[in-house]
């Protein structure tokens, strides 16, 4: 792992601040990876209106598998960062469940790395974003890396976030309509990882009735699908999960 002297990160930040279009950000995320000497760097945001923008150095095979396996639903990094505003070391997240452990093994097998740091980010209109770096190394080396680069990475993450909003396909949507108590319950349990059958059983309702609550919440939130509805509700503080 490279030392990435502060002058090199300062140069990178200056270049980032001068970026003129969204396509340029993909080249910059690769440059940041090389400057830091890590395995990967990535950034992704979802606006409250459903627009998305992302750039990363992850392989196309991993990104396709992530989507095909619906890993967004169980990814401890995503779930953990929804509830935080400060940088999150992946090792401090809950990887105890079998699905999370299987996901981690798959990620490592696809070259993501066994260590990672993510910076949760928010936008003015309910947008949510995540800026991450990952690498393969032991805990001691990673602790030294994060201690050295934590502050500049926070600054770079927020600058990247602002640039993505300025240059990307986002917009600031109208505020979401209030959710009913039942809609909040349904979305909250789904955010906690419950299956639809489990949610229906917990709320003592049929799955057909549950679908009605979820669809109503999705429309109120302006979400494209259930996962987006959960993300939107979390980012707006309409639901909270422990």
How many domains, in total, are found in the chain? 2
Q: Which two tokens stand for residue 207?
A: 């799955």
Q: Regarding predicted confidence, which is higher, 101 or 234?
A: 101
Residue span of the structural domain in which 207 resides: 181-235
pLDDT at site 201: 93
pLDDT per position as a tens digit, 68-102? 888 888 899 988 887 777 889 999 999 999 999 99
Distances (CA, A) of 230 to 26, 71, 95, 102, 133: 27, 14, 21, 23, 25
Q: How confident is the model at residue 171 (pLDDT cuts 50, 70, 90)?
A: very low
Same domain, 132 and 211: no
Evaluate whether residue 60 is within a structural domain. yes
Same domain, 185 and 122: no
In this structure, of 56-70, 189-203, 222-236, the range with the lowest mean pLDDT score is 222-236
pTM value is 0.66
- Helix ranges (H only) for 121-180 are 139-167
Same domain, 161 and 188: no
Neighbours of 102 (CB within 10 A): 13
Distances (CA, A) of 11 to 17, 102, 167: 10, 39, 20
Q: Which of 115, 139, 167 is the last residue of a domain?
A: 167
Q: Which two tokens stand for residue 199?
A: 């949610």
Chain mean pLDDT for the chain: 84
Same domain, 108 and 130: yes
Evaluate whether residue 174 is within a structural domain. no
Same domain, 157 and 192: no
Strands (E), 30-162: 40-46, 52-56, 88-89, 115-122, 128-135
Q: Which two tokens stand for residue 197?
A: 């059958």
Evaluate whether residue 40 is within a structural domain. yes
Evaluate whether residue 175 is within a structural domain. no
pLDDT at site 44: 85
Q: Which of 142, 167, 192 is the last residue of a domain?
A: 167
Backbone angles phi, psi at 178, to 5 degrees: -60, 145
Q: Which of 137, 167, 197 is the last residue of a domain?
A: 167
Q: Which of 177, 184, 180, 185 is nearest to 48 (CA)?
A: 177
Same domain, 227 and 133: no
Same domain, 205 and 115: no
Q: What is the mean pLDDT of residues 17-32?
A: 87
Evaluate whether residue 133 is within a structural domain. yes
CATH number at residue 199: 1.10.10.10
pLDDT at site 123: 66
Same domain, 36 and 107: yes
Q: What is residue 208's three-state secondary structure? A: helix
Neighbours of 58 (CB within 10 A): 20
pLDDT at 161 exceeding the cut of 60 = yes
């Amino acid at each position: 792992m490279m030392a990435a002297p502060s002058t090199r990160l300062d140069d990178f930040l200056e270049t980032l601040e001068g970026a003129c279009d969204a396509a340029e950000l993909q080249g910059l995320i690769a440059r940041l990876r090389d400057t830091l000497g890590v395995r990967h760097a990535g950034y992704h945001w979802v606006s409250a209106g459903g627009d998305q923008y992302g750039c990363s150095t992850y392989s196309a095979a991993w990104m396709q598998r992530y989507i095909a396996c619906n890993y967004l639903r169980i990814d401890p990094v995503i779930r953990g960062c929804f509830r935080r505003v400060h940088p999150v070391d992946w090792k401090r997240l809950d990887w105890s469940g079998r699905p999370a452990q299987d996901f981690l093994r798959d990620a490592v097998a696809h070259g993501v790395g066994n260590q990672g740091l993510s910076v949760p980010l928010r936008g003015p209109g309910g947008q949510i974003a995540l800026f991450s770096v990952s690498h393969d190394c032991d805990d001691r080396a990673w602790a030294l890396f994060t201690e050295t680069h934590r502050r500049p990475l926070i600054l770079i993450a927020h600058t990247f976030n602002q640039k993505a909003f300025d240059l990307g396909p986002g917009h600031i949507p109208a505020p979401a309509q209030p959710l009913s108590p039942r809609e909040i319950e349904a979305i909250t349990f789904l955010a906690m990882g419950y299956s639809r059958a489990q949610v229906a059983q917990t709320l003592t309702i049929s799955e057909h009735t549950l679908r009605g609550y979820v669809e109503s919440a999705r429309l109120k939130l302006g979400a494209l699908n259930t996962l987006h509805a959960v993300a939107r509700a979390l980012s707006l503080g309409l639901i909270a999960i422990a």
